[in-house]
Amino acid sequence: MNTPQIAVFARLAKENTLETRALEGQKTMISRTMHSLAYDSVHDEIVVNSPLAQAILFFRGGAKGEEPPVRVIQGPHTQIRGTDYDGNDKMTFDEVHGEVIIPVNKDTILVFSREANGDVAPIRVLGGPDTQIRGSVRGHPVVGVDPIHNLLIVRSVGEQGSGGALLMFDRTATGNTKPRSVIRGPKTGLTGAGGGTAQLQVYAPKGWIVGGAEGGSIGVWSIEDSGDAPPRWKIPVQQLAGIGPSGVAIDPVHKEVIVASGGRNRLVTFYFPEIFD
């Protein structure tokens, strides 16, 4: 895109409300195709991939302007590898255990310590045929983490983008490990078109998994679900707002779900107390 900024808006911002600050410029090392990012509230940092440069960047929480990252993970030991289409565009962050989790190379998950800097090896690598992890045709699976129930959740994509599933692993799983449980099937809302977001959020106190569901919706599943389990709740974003969700964040304090639409250049916020109460 023209300017791959990270713009920051007040929670109550609305139409045409200006950003409060923006990270942008060469020194930031950010690049386009940032399809996920995270805020580390424990250490007050912004964590984001630099997808075209196979890097993970950490910024001060209040960073603005052309501010360089405080740490950069990049180099041959990292094993970070993107695709021609998506680069390395997806990630999630476990602020309880201080770990960055990024999917690479379509079917592998790398885990780094948040304190890592430079050309460092991942502390864990999860991947192999038994994991059932599979990225999209030209991209990666989507990841989320539940630090309370110690689960790593992977939104895996089937062949040619069909047959999606939520795979639940022990958070510290490594190697060619089978998932503890799998949500997969025609009722799950994970298989049809228009169900993709590049982010998965977990409201760990309740064990709710929040992510894209078919039909341009946001779906909520339980970490206790398995098999052909439909979402517990669904926000039909496409019907309500005329946009397809591409990213999602949660705000438990105000009981809101924030949805980004890359396709239509906007953010919408839904009041959704059901999953937080």
Residues 215-234 that bind another protein (CB under 8 A): 220, 222, 224-225, 229-234
Other Cβ atoms less than 10 A from the Cβ of 55: the count is 20
Answer yes or no whether residue 55 interacts with another protein by CB under 8 A. Answer: yes
Q: Select from 190, 195, 196 the least CA-distant residue to 227.
A: 190
Q: How far apart are the first and last CA of the chain?
A: 39
Per the rule left: phi > 0, alpha: psi between -120 and 50, beta: everything else, 262 is: alpha
Answer yes or no whether residue 118 interacts with another protein by CB under 8 A. Answer: no
CB of 163 to another protein, least distance (A): 20
Answer yes or no whether residue 64 interacts with another protein by CB under 8 A. Answer: no
Answer yes or no whether residue 270 interacts with another protein by CB under 8 A. Answer: yes
Q: If you write DSSP's letter for every residue of 171-199 in order, what string do you get?
A: TT--BSPPPSEEEESTTSSSSSTT---S-
The number of residues that bind another protein (CB under 8 A) is: 111
How far apart CA 127 and CA 105 sit, in angstroms, is 10
Q: Of how many residues is the chain composed?
A: 277
Q: Which of 35, 106, 134, 140 binds another protein (CB under 8 A)?
A: 35
8 A C-beta contact, residue 5 and residue 24: yes
Answer yes or no whether residue 135 interacts with another protein by CB under 8 A. Answer: no
Answer yes or no whether residue 125 interacts with another protein by CB under 8 A. Answer: no
Q: Which of 71, 79, 149, 194 binds another protein (CB under 8 A)?
A: 79
Q: Which of 131, 132, 156, 199 binds another protein (CB under 8 A)?
A: 199
Per CB under 8 A, which region of 44-52, 125-133, 151-159, 176-184 contacts another protein? 44-52
State phi, psi for 245 to the nearest 5 degrees.
Answer: -70, 140
Answer yes or no whether residue 85 interacts with another protein by CB under 8 A. Answer: yes
Answer yes or no whether residue 116 interacts with another protein by CB under 8 A. Answer: no
Answer yes or no whether residue 83 interacts with another protein by CB under 8 A. Answer: yes
How far apart CA 40 and CA 61 sit, in angstroms, is 8
CB of 125 to another protein, least distance (A): 11
Q: Which of 58, 60, 71, 76 binds another protein (CB under 8 A)?
A: 76
Which residues does 44 contact at the CB level (< 8 Å), separation at least 6?
60, 61, 62
Answer yes or no whether residue 235 interacts with another protein by CB under 8 A. Answer: yes
Q: Which is closer to another protein, CB of 69 or CB of 179?
A: 69
Answer yes or no whether residue 30 interacts with another protein by CB under 8 A. Answer: yes
Answer yes or no whether residue 67 interacts with another protein by CB under 8 A. Answer: no
How wide is the angle at C-alpha 209 spanned by C-alphas 207 and 252, nearest 5°?
70
